């Protein structure tokens, strides 16, 4: 129950109670939770307190509102296990059939359009290099969880554009290019915010938090062969860790 003498704000206590009921299955997925008035009567708290708790749970991805119907329990967040996640997870080269990804755009760009690519791929800064840029979505149960962008140097993969469009399997794309097969990756993670150009794909408003993971893939000879930027919806995903000593 809510402790009105606690130093913890009342809205925060209500949030914890609702989350606990969701996790215990008392409030089930896609079912309607009590109304604001019901919460007010149940816990003898004010409407602004209830409204703030509900608003923060909606923003946090625990609940969603249906216009004219009420507030419902959202689907559980997608777990990104950092023990299992590697730079290969969102890779185009490591996809069995890259064309089977939920691709929204394939185009050619040069390093002047994305200057940091020259540094990532160790190309001379004065030399204009060409890349194939592939944009694709991570979709689970018909719901968009992430927007990914892969950059592949055309000097190494001149036909990757048509190969992806023609649904070539990765073993054919890399056939005869064994020196370019990804064997190592490095990743960085940070929190960023949704840009206007990303909203139509991620289906959220600008300024919403995203979990951004930058992945750089290397061949056995330490040559960079692919650079991927993945942006996961923070309201739909959570990071998990497992450690032992």
pLDDT of res. 23:
87
pLDDT of res. 74:
87
Cα distances from 74 to residues 59, 83, 202, in angstroms, run: 11, 26, 16
Q: Which CATH architecture has domain 79-240?
A: 3-Layer(aba) Sandwich (3.40)
| DSSP secondary structure letter of residue 6 | S
* Residues 194/206, Cβ–Cβ less than 8 Å: yes
Average pLDDT across the chain, whole number: 90
pTM equals 0.75
According to CATH, the topology of domain 10-75 is Arc Repressor Mutant, subunit A (1.10.10)
**Which residue's entry shows tokens 């968009």?**
144
Domain boundaries, given as residue ranges, for the chain = 10-75, 79-240
pLDDT of res. 143:
85
Question: Residues 201-211: pLDDT tens digits?
Answer: 998 889 989 99
Mean pLDDT along residues 140-157: 92
């Amino acid at each position: 129950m809510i402790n009105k003498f606690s130093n913890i704000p009342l809205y925060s206590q209500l949030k914890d109670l609702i989350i606990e009921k969701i996790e215990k299955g008392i409030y089930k997925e896609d079912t309607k939770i009590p109304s604001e008035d019901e919460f007010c009567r149940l816990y003898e708290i004010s409407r602004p307190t209830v409204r703030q708790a509900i608003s923060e749970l909606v923003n946090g991805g625990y609940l969603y509102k249906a216009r004219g119907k009420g507030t419902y329990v959202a689907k559980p967040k997608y777990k990104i296990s950092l023990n299992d996640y590697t730079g290969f997870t969102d890779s185009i080269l490591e996809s069995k059939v890259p064309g089977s990804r939920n691709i929204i755009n394939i185009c050619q760009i040069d390093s002047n359009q994305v200057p940091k690519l020259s540094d990532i791929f160790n190309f001379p800064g004065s030399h204009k290099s060409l890349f194939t840029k592939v944009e694709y979505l991570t979709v689970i149960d018909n719901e968009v969880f992430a927007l990914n962008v892969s950059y592949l140097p055309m000097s190494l993969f001149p036909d990757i554009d048509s190969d992806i469009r023609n649904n070539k399997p990765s073993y054919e794309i890399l056939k005869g290019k064994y020196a370019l097969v990804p064997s190592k990756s490095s990743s960085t993670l940070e929190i960023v915010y949704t840009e206007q150009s990303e909203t139509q794909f991620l289906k959220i408003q600008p300024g919403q938090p995203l979990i951004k993971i930058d992945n750089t893939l290397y061949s056995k000879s330490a040559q960079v062969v692919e650079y991927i930027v993945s942006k996961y919806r923070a309201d739909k995903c959570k990071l998990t860790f497992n450690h032992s000593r």
